[in-house]
A and B are shown apart, each in its own frame.
Chain A
């Protein structure tokens, strides 16, 4: 399997362990068939649209609104999760209380609960006659069938990404650092904000990025609570589905390509930020 080049370039290091060709070959073939060829089909299809048609779809008012809503609501939800997810992680790591293991397990619920189930449950809960909706209805605040409802669903979906990324880093914090800060006269709040938080920043950023990326593409939990009114509460993934149902493959492809491009670009930027903050804070 090793391809020895003229200058001694080798594709792989020699090893006594067998099976490299077989396992790598199978993995690459499977990856190509299941992931790469289908994604290439999407890229080819959007490339074949031609620039004027692509631009016309991308600047359509309904498409622009859906994209803005999807990315805006996801940003808001990911920020909410950064704040509360960090508090939840801190409580789980630092405090001891009965039932901690159960609460720790329940944090993963959004990973395990199918999105359609979460969607109808959240809608029932936040509808004007639901348990939580009924509290806000007299105040004139509508949650379900508004952008606020979309944010709620995306907070649900994104929470474990932040907690599970921040939690292991918090567990690794050396207590001596806090003791040193305290010895040097820092108050507890100062220690938390100036000493511990910078060390947690890369993990929090990663958690934010994961929650954000997941929220942008989220469909199942959102479509029930959103209300799905064009130019009001219609998210980009739903618009793709609508275009497909109208056999408007060009429209669906263009929106998908835009979403993928923005998502990948944001992940790339966040990766850069992360490696920068790792260099900065170690």
Chain B
């Protein structure tokens, strides 16, 4: 980012200002504005995470990570993602199959409903489960009488995470499978393949990179979700604390270095996710072609 070379756009000739691109000075100015903005808003926060984590040396960071409460938070986060992501994966494939391979009434409305969690605040995503299972709800007394713990326990955390990450895989697959149509599947079926064989050997290879793309994004959000999980978790250390919640506790106890040490793990996950995502876009861009960017 330090040295910036300007490659002239098409049709640019020395000495004559091209009519279809900006003057070099304008281009340089726009680039500087964009770089400065990204530096301040995106790069510096990332640098701060790693800088603060290791400010007191590697030993202090490693010590925080080795604490039993931190390890419990890491285990819980991995477990929640390991349940939530496969659930939304099965849903995503099923919904995309129904929506992309068939014509039926109310399809547009169904797609709107699938996107709904994106326009609901994470806090409200947690709140709805508190209202459904909490003390004053219809189900609350029954659950209590039967000793079923959902709120302030792992099932509640999983449900809130599933809610928040609900659309991720479906919305990657729907446009992709719509663009691919049903021709391949019809050919396989006419050659005598069963429905499952068709899906397994024809559809799945066609959508594998889009599927992976959706899983990556879904997983990143599942492991990093804070607001929704915070509402239903109860913040019991060692039991219902996920990594983001543990970061909050450490930070509020003024254990800043510790909070950033745990943050490096999640920031690392974010960087790996971005790297893999770019790699997929670069290598398999055609097979993700129908994919919207967000």
Contact of B119 with A213 in the complex, beta carbons under 8 Å:
yes
Specify which of A31, A91, A264 is in contact with B113 (CB 8 Å cutoff): A31
B236 within 8 A of A: no
A164-B293 CB under 8 A given contacts A41-B131, A263-B119: yes
A226 within 8 A of B: no
Contact of B6 with A19 in the complex, beta carbons under 8 Å:
no
Specify which of A20, A216, A253 is in contact with B121 (CB 8 Å cutoff): A216
Contact of B259 with A120 in the complex, beta carbons under 8 Å:
yes
A99, A116, A168 pick with most chain B CB within 10 angstroms: A116
Q: How large is the interface on B (under 10, 10 to 19, 20 to 34, 35 or more residues)?
A: 35 or more
User: What string of 1s and 0s marks CB contacts (under 8 Å) between A89-113 and chain B?
Assistant: 0111011111101011111111111
Q: How large is the interface on A (under 10, 10 to 19, 20 to 34, 35 or more residues)?
A: 35 or more
Contact of A13 with B102 in the complex, beta carbons under 8 Å:
yes
Contact of A124 with B52 in the complex, beta carbons under 8 Å:
yes
B14 within 8 A of A: no
B162 within 8 A of A: yes
A109-B270 CB under 8 A given contacts A15-B102, A91-B34, A120-B263: yes
Residues of B within 8 A of A96 (CB): 7
Residues of B1-31 at the interface with A, using a CB-CB cut-off of 8 Å, are: 1, 3-7, 9-10, 19-23, 26-27, 30-31
Stretch from A52-60, A154-162, A273-281 contacting the other chain: A154-162
CA distance A106 to B270 in the complex (A): 10
Residues of B163-186 at the interface with A, using a CB-CB cut-off of 8 Å, are: 163, 166, 182, 185-186
Residues of B within 8 A of A118 (CB): 45
A7 within 8 A of B: no
User: What string of 1s and 0s marks CB contacts (under 8 Å) between A122-144 and chain B?
Assistant: 10110000111000000000000
A41, A122, A191 pick with most chain B CB within 10 angstroms: A41
Closest Cβ neighbor of B20 among chain A residues: A178
Contact of B5 with A122 in the complex, beta carbons under 8 Å:
no
Residues of A25-49 at the interface with B, using a CB-CB cut-off of 8 Å, are: 26-28, 30-31, 34-39, 41-42, 45
Residues of B within 8 A of A214 (CB): 118
Specify which of A87, A240, A256 is in contact with B34 (CB 8 Å cutoff): A87
Contact of A117 with B131 in the complex, beta carbons under 8 Å:
no
Residues of B within 8 A of A101 (CB): 278, 282
Contact of B120 with A260 in the complex, beta carbons under 8 Å:
yes
CA distance A65 to B269 in the complex (A): 37
B248 within 8 A of A: yes
Number of A-B residue pairs at CB separation under 8 A: 317
Contact of A108 with B274 in the complex, beta carbons under 8 Å:
yes
Contact of B266 with A97 in the complex, beta carbons under 8 Å:
no
Contact of A112 with B220 in the complex, beta carbons under 8 Å:
yes
Residues of B within 8 A of A183 (CB): 19
Contact of A97 with B131 in the complex, beta carbons under 8 Å:
no
Contact of B227 with A182 in the complex, beta carbons under 8 Å:
no
Stretch from B56-64, B132-140, B141-149, B204-212 contacting the other chain: B132-140
Specify which of A103, A113, A115, A168 is in contact with B227 (CB 8 Å cutoff): A115
Contact of B120 with A41 in the complex, beta carbons under 8 Å:
no
Residues of B within 8 A of A23 (CB): 94-95, 97-98
Contact of B274 with A105 in the complex, beta carbons under 8 Å:
yes
A267 within 8 A of B: yes
CA distance A120 to B26 in the complex (A): 36
Contact of A103 with B38 in the complex, beta carbons under 8 Å:
yes
Closest Cβ neighbor of A243 among chain B residues: B127
Contact of B220 with A217 in the complex, beta carbons under 8 Å:
no
User: Shortest distance in angstroms between B32's beta carbon and chain A's nearest beta carbon?
Assistant: 10
A259-B124 CB under 8 A given contacts A114-B223, A117-B263, A167-B293: yes
Contact of B294 with A111 in the complex, beta carbons under 8 Å:
yes
Contact of B189 with A120 in the complex, beta carbons under 8 Å:
no
Contact of A117 with B121 in the complex, beta carbons under 8 Å:
no
Contact of B273 with A112 in the complex, beta carbons under 8 Å:
yes
Contact of A30 with B91 in the complex, beta carbons under 8 Å:
yes
Residues of A within 8 A of B245 (CB): 116
B244 within 8 A of A: yes
A107-B42 CB under 8 A given contacts A88-B34, A114-B270: yes
A20-B98 CB under 8 A given contacts A113-B224, A240-B124: yes
Enumerate chain B interface residues (CB-CB to A < 8 A): 1, 3-7, 9-10, 19-23, 26-27, 30-31, 33-35, 37-38, 40-46, 48-49, 52, 87, 90-91, 94-95, 97-98, 101-105, 110, 113-114, 116-124, 127-132, 134-137, 159, 162-163, 166, 182, 185-186, 189-190, 195, 198-199, 217, 220-221, 223-227, 230-231, 243-245, 247-248, 251, 256, 259-260, 263, 266-267, 269-271, 273-275, 277-278, 282, 292-294
Beyond A87-B37, A113-B224, A115-B122, list 12 extra A-B contacts (CB 8 Å). Answer: A15-B101, A19-B195, A45-B131, A97-B7, A99-B1, A108-B277, A109-B46, A114-B243, A115-B227, A121-B52, A125-B45, A219-B226
Would you list 30 pairs from A and B whose C-beta atoms are within 8 A, ordered by A residue?
A12-B103, A17-B198, A18-B195, A30-B87, A35-B117, A37-B132, A87-B37, A88-B34, A91-B30, A95-B7, A103-B1, A103-B35, A112-B269, A113-B224, A114-B244, A116-B224, A116-B245, A116-B263, A117-B224, A121-B48, A121-B260, A164-B293, A168-B293, A188-B22, A192-B22, A217-B121, A219-B121, A220-B122, A252-B127, A267-B119
